[in-house]
Structure 1
């Protein structure tokens, strides 16, 4: 029987469709994703409320800006330490205890907001504490997901995570703005506390995951061992360096208020901030094709290059909708890069190192945007908003090309033949027999 005329379109649609197999096959993955969604929504609402309250209390740009600075050092220290304890202790327990600690930080913010005269220092101290706890939680959560799913589901799992996170990041600020202007900071923190309680109810139902038999006690030495392991792996270093270079040069969120004014559309600033998230959501929903890609290193290089090109083209666009379009393309390319970076991490890193390397990963994708905003502001000071945006995109393309040339093993990485990927598949295949 001959194929129907629309058969090629159906085939294409199947290849693009988001792979939901991880959700169907793993109850624990569903619980972790549900917890992550609820937590992210509540956290984003608080992210909107804290600077809003700081402005109410101080009317100072500097005071508002220092909130992010207060969070930076705890994020770095606790990210590395969180990776070390993720390889030494019960990862599920770390996630639950960290989530409980984050819930208590929101309780502190709520109590402070209900005082007749809320204290400014509480916002800084609690913000730093929350950043540290979140950085402790993240490596264990990623290492836990690696254990509750087969290795060949990692790309699909990252796509689902990205869809959930970016959907929350698009809807969350709008919801947070509405809540804080309607109910005030105390109402926002109260909702965040409620979301943490729901999240904890989901997390305690996640099944216990056995610790690795080669678990290394957490220490400065074990952290250094994790760094040395990463340095010995050019394919891993490629994932970190390409992402940091791409973000440090082309991430330019700090320019958006000025870009909206340049486009004579000051009210479109929210649209510019949302563009990357919209592109990421579209990329996640159409990510089925990524399961058929095996040259993950090359895919990261191409995606990061496309990110830079899209940012550079956005700088040339004459109206806000075309700028939005190319920023959305950039966000989609960044999402695809993240999928393949995550696949390399989860398919090749031995379980005894997974937590420590997750801590390094957290730093690699967190510091890049911070450096990017600093670079964007400095460049704009000399050449203006459009110049800064466009030059950043072009510098990103050049830096990624340099990394691709300097790291041939990363460029040639193939999941079908890579020694580390093969070793991990063999180890996972042997686990049932060994248990």
Structure 2
């Protein structure tokens, strides 16, 4: 009975490996520190300009380097020692965070400097993340990769909750410079964990890390249907089913929150990452799933159904706003847990079905898809809400996720039948 009960909780076997344990433990504080900067940069830009349009430029200045350096960084990760690349990019993140602190400490109030620093930071991040994930199969046995991916996503999701809450509370008390300084300090934990890794050269590196290498990685992806479909399923889930751009309107119009944010907005924004954290804490089952293709399809279907139900709650909010808010939050939490499972399985498929010489490049594509999908969703959901309202945009998007997932399952049985190993 005790063993069965223990099996409900996260599989922590990867933490028995010292190298992974150091990276994961360091990431706990580093992710919270990074989220402080995520909060501080747009807040500082708004305090300087008073313009939401200028704040919106952070999306452009963040997305372009994320795409360019995500793809090129993946190629670098397939051609040089991955520990060395992690050392360089982590140090780059330390330096850019320190520059954020310096400009705030000196009171420069230059919005373009802030945007350039943000773009530089995202460039280092875009190279660092594919490399960090591509190294996992060299640290852990294949059977522990689903658990490792779930543990990593749990930390990222927890940081997405704690960082904004802490940052929002500390800005009026400490100011921007202290938040940037805290971010800088937390990054040294990851730098130490990376420094402790043994050298990680690439198995049979091919060519040079230029445009040709990036193209070869994309050609390799196009020729491996299961890998390509794992990206397609994620795009279906995020593009059609991520309604975060509607949360300000939903919080105000449907649930009576203030225009400038408020508790309703904060709860809606935190619900999906909270669900991912719960999914990770009670995610011991992911290591026991062998049919990973069908598991991804079911997880994405649950995500779509949860978003459709959340849209239904928004539509009924005028009759029972408090009850429907609670129901909508519950559905967003369910969706977050399903997204955690989907991400853990998709990441595992990508790591195990790819040879070592190409893992970095495909992880670069993964970063671009994961970052780009929600940004496309912001545009689509915003436009749909203008035409049909936020309830139909949210619920209809969830229904489209269900339809798209069903089409993939029917047309591509190879993905549905994919098994670990």
TM-score by length of 2: 0.94
Task: Tell me, in whole angstroms, the C-alpha distance in 1 between the residues paired with 2:369 and 2:63.
Answer: 13
8 A Cα contact 2:82 2:201, kept in partner = no
Which residue number in structure 2 is paired with residue 321 of structure 1? 326
C-alpha displacement at 1:19, in angstroms? 0.8
1:67-86 equivalences under 5 Å are 67-86=58-77
C-alpha displacement at 1:305, in angstroms? 0.9
1:144-223 equivalences under 5 Å are 144-223=135-214
Task: Tell me, in whole angstroms, the C-alpha distance in 2 between the residues paired with 1:68 and 1:80.
Answer: 18
Which residue number in structure 2 is paired with residue 428 of structure 1? none
C-alpha displacement at 1:35, in angstroms? 2.8
Cα-to-partner distance string for 1:341-388 (whole Å, 9 max, x where unaligned): 111112221101111111111112111111111111000000111111
- Gaps of at least 5 residues in structure 2 are 318-323
Aligned pair 1:240/2:236, yes or no? no
8 A Cα contact 1:82 1:139, kept in partner = yes
C-alpha displacement at 1:15, in angstroms? 2.7
Aligned pair 1:355/2:360, yes or no? yes
Task: Tell me, in whole angstroms, the C-alpha distance in 2 between the residues paired with 1:116 and 1:36.
Answer: 30
C-alpha displacement at 1:11, in angstroms? 5.1
Cα-to-partner distance string for 1:96-116 (whole Å, 9 max, x where unaligned): 111111111111111111224
Which residue number in structure 2 is paired with residue 410 of structure 1? 415
Aligned pair 1:275/2:280, yes or no? no
Which residue number in structure 2 is paired with residue 304 of structure 1? 300
8 A Cα contact 1:265 1:320, kept in partner = no
Which residue number in structure 1 is paired with residue 125 of structure 2? 134
Aligned pair 1:249/2:245, yes or no? no
Which residue number in structure 1 is paired with residue 389 of structure 2? 384
Which residue number in structure 2 is paired with residue 13 of structure 1? 5
Task: Tell me, in whole angstroms, the C-alpha distance in 1 between the residues paired with 2:157 and 2:237.
Answer: 19
Aligned pair 1:28/2:8, yes or no? no
C-alpha displacement at 1:215, in angstroms? 4.4
RMSD of aligned Cα (Å): 1.3
Which residue number in structure 2 is paired with residue 429 of structure 1? none
Which residue number in structure 2 is paired with residue 294 of structure 1? 290
Which residue number in structure 2 is paired with residue 336 of structure 1? 341
Task: Tell me, in whole angstroms, the C-alpha distance in 2 between the residues paired with 1:228 and 1:380.
Answer: 37
Which SS does the other structure have where 1:218 is aligned? coil
Which SS does the other structure have where 2:135 is aligned? helix
Which SS does the other structure have where 1:351 is aligned? coil
Which residue number in structure 2 is paired with residue 427 of structure 1? none
Cα-to-partner distance string for 1:34-64 (whole Å, 9 max, x where unaligned): 2322221111001101111111100001001
1:77-116 equivalences under 5 Å are 77-116=68-107
Which SS does the other structure have where 1:238 is aligned? helix
8 A Cα contact 1:109 1:122, kept in partner = no
Deviates more, 1:263-272 or 1:64-73: 263-272
8 A Cα contact 1:143 1:354, kept in partner = yes
8 A Cα contact 1:163 1:284, kept in partner = yes
Task: Tell me, in whole angstroms, the C-alpha distance in 1 between the residues paired with 2:300 and 2:357.
Answer: 29
Cα-to-partner distance string for 1:241-269 (whole Å, 9 max, x where unaligned): 00011100010111111111111244211
1:65 alignment partner, one of 52, 56, 62: 56
8 A Cα contact 1:87 1:216, kept in partner = no
